[in-house]
Amino acid sequence: MKDSGPIDVPVRIPGTECRVLVGRGLIGRAGEFVREAGLRGACAVITDENVARHHGEAVRKSLEAAGYRTHFFVVPAGEQSKAMSVAESLCDRMIEAGLDRSSFIVALGGGVVGDLAGFVAAIYQRGIPFVQIPTTIVAQVDSSIGGKTGVNARAGKNLIGAFHQPRLVLAETDTLATLPDREYREGFAEVIKHAVIRDAAMLDEIDPDAPRENLGPLIARNIAIKAAIVADDEREQTGTRALLNFGHTVAHAIENAAGYGQFLHGEAVSLGIAAALEISQRKAGLSAAAAQGVREKLAAFGLPLTLSNGLSTDELIAAARRDKKFAEGKIRYVVSPKPGEAFVAEDVTEEDLRAAIDSLRA
């Protein structure tokens, strides 16, 4: 899978203008692409300490070369920054800097920064445009696409948020070179999820030894999968977008019960996928061989498949009940009958969920 340069990925969400580019050298041209997207006014770049160190100056230079007055707002790295208090602080700092309704935001970083900055863009001055420059696999293939923004509540992940589509997404693959190995590998849980729900052939093609600089086509392929699903059901009204939650019911429960930051998101998703495979075998007819193939692919990336006894099943069930994927007290659980297909099951019970969580301790 060689990267042949920027790839323009079609994103056709009704009523939305969003251009998505994937490839190398995009950060150095960020100002040019932002100008082409029609954005005007001053710019607030929201990033974290780690990303600012690696990529902040290149983004600043590019935006200022294109004529944008640029303000940088740096938050601590980690899930703890995805909080209402941080969003409020950012709004206050933007007001102090004189940013108004003609301004826009650039989210430079991984999923935490993208969700946080997108949420600030959704609420600041009742909504201003924003640009995503995702710097991790998770952010590039998943969280930067689709317009879900938000912060965590004490009771659960992403319980406070808004739908707010970015005007531009620049998935710069050169940023992957600076990722620590653990953060790089965790992102492939979302790639594997996309393969399970929509693209069975991709399972065989995901290679843990592929050079990072060659991942452009794989990232573009994943963006196209998510964009197509979002275009069918942007605000989760028909159930199609819910397919993207495969593995996430248990994943979000693990993140919440363990304390945000104990597990990387992709690590929790890997455990959630393992639980979803167990339920899919019982409720959707997924074959044991197919389930094992997915587990082996997760393991090839060093992703966890077993859960310690430190988190009790009761704790996880309690956390899952607070998740958005419970509707009127009923579980909206995504299962897969075979790789490449998924649906929302109506007959998954709390007992099924409990048994699947217990299976992670085997």
Residue 48: which of 101, 90, 88 has the closest Cα?
Answer: 90
**Which residue out of 221, 245, 325, 332 is catalytically annotated?**
245
**Which residue out of 96, 126, 309, 328 is catalytically annotated?**
126
**Which residue out of 24, 71, 185, 241 is catalytically annotated?**
241
**Which residue out of 19, 32, 54, 236 is catalytically annotated?**
236
**Which residue out of 82, 164, 198, 252 is catalytically annotated?**
252
Asked about 265 being catalytic, the answer comes back as yes
Asked about 322 being catalytic, the answer comes back as no
DSSP H or E stretch at residue 336: strand 333-338
Residue 284: which of 191, 197, 195 has the closest Cα?
Answer: 197
**Which residue out of 71, 248, 295, 325 is catalytically annotated?**
248
Asked about 226 being catalytic, the answer comes back as yes
- Read out DSSP for 23-54? ESS-GGGHHHHHHHTT--S-EEEEEEHHHIII
List, in order, residues 6 or more apart from 53 with CB less than 8 Å away: none
Task: Go through the chain and tell me how many residues it has.
Answer: 362
Residue 242: which of 319, 335, 134 has the closest Cα?
Answer: 335
Asked about 148 being catalytic, the answer comes back as yes
d(CA 361, CA 250): 14
d(CA 94, CA 124): 9
**Which residue out of 193, 265, 283, 295 is catalytically annotated?**
265
Given the DSSP bridges, would you call strands 148-153 and 104-109 parallel, antiparallel or unpaired?
unpaired
Asked about 241 being catalytic, the answer comes back as yes
Chain position carrying tokens 């009923």: 330
Active site residues: 126, 148, 190, 226, 236, 241, 245, 248, 252, 265
